[in-house]
Amino acid sequence: MHESSLRRAVRRYSPFWVGRSLRAVYYWPSDVLDTVLRRRDLAMPGRGEAAFVGDGDFAGMGRRFLDHFVRLGHLESHHRVLDVGCGIGRMALPLTGFLGPDGEYWGFDPVPKGIEWCRQHITSRFPRFHFDVADVWSKSYNRRGKTLARDYVFPYADASFDFVFATSVFTHVVPADLENYVANIARVLRPQGTCFASYFLLNDTSRSCDAARDFCYPVDSNGACMAVSRVEFEKAVAFDEQFIRDVYRRSGLTIEEPVRHGRWVGGAGGPAFQDIIIARSRAVNEPSSLG
């Protein structure tokens, strides 16, 4: 996150949709040419189609996170999986080659075009992969949504998933939304199920690093959440690590130590760019630690 002053100004003051739209326009000609010349895998979205999930190596990132799910989160092929904020299938696509006949995938997202693409290109070939549109209002992603994220109830039964993940989701939500989503994750997880989520975490180490200077606008009065933009908090946020620990504890999730801190603060120590928290739901009859 070492950026020029101009780029930092763009991040702080320009609406999110501007960057997303510019990326889509920029990549459209090359996507068309690659399709005509058969130079791209049509089972993958074009770079313009995937613009709302950001830049980077779309397929490569999916493969790397599948490795994290298995190696760090102990995902197994028979698990029932929920993808919170599934986008346009970046994590779902590699899972199609991992989940076995007893496994099942569900994903939801507030961007209808991403869900439509996934249904057409993934569910049509892998019927055990299901995608739902979340009618959630978002200034950055879905201004037609009717439900606030802080009030949204995941449309799935209690204790129905073995593994729930949220990658680059909690880096774009405000505290009330995050607390509601974590509570929903705890509700839908089976006993001793796994929650895998990525963050930008603020602690004594990260606050002293140059990258943390990007998060300079407080989202709440106690400084538990800081944003890079005063125009749209959802562009990117960082949370105080102790605040996140308290949210998990209140929701009945036990964090697996150590937290895997990411490379966003510099260096090459972490497994991913963002910080990773892996947590487990309580076992049956395990006493609650809420309060």
SS3 category, 210? helix
Instruction: Compute the distance between CA of residue 279 and CA of residue 198 in angstroms, rounded to an integer.
Output: 12
pTM: predicted TM-score of the whole model, two decimal places: 0.85
For tokens 């946020």, the residue is: 237
* Domains of the chain and any CATH numbers: 55-281 (3.40.50.150)
CA 180 from chain center: how many Å?
15
Residue-level pLDDT at 242: 98
CA angle, 105 then 110 then 112, to 5°? 85
Residue-level pLDDT at 269: 72
For tokens 């802080």, the residue is: 150
Residue-level pLDDT at 196: 98
Residues whose CB is less than 8 angstroms from the CB of residue 75 and which lie 6 or more positions away in sequence, other chains included: 66, 69, 81, 98, 163, 194
CA dihedral 240, 242, 246, 251 (to 10 degrees): 60
pLDDT, one tens digit for every residue, the chain (291 residues): 444 554 555 455 555 545 555 555 545 465 455 555 555 555 666 655 555 556 678 889 999 999 999 999 999 999 999 999 999 999 999 999 999 999 999 999 999 999 999 999 999 999 999 999 999 998 888 889 999 999 999 999 999 999 999 999 999 999 999 999 999 999 999 999 999 999 999 999 999 999 999 999 999 988 999 999 988 888 899 999 999 999 999 999 999 999 999 999 887 678 999 999 999 998 866 655 443
Q: To which H or E segment does residue 233 belong?
A: none
Print burial letters for 234-266: b (CB count within 10 Å at least 16), e (below 16): bbbbbbbbebbbebbbbbbbbebeebbbbebbe
Residue-level pLDDT at 166: 98
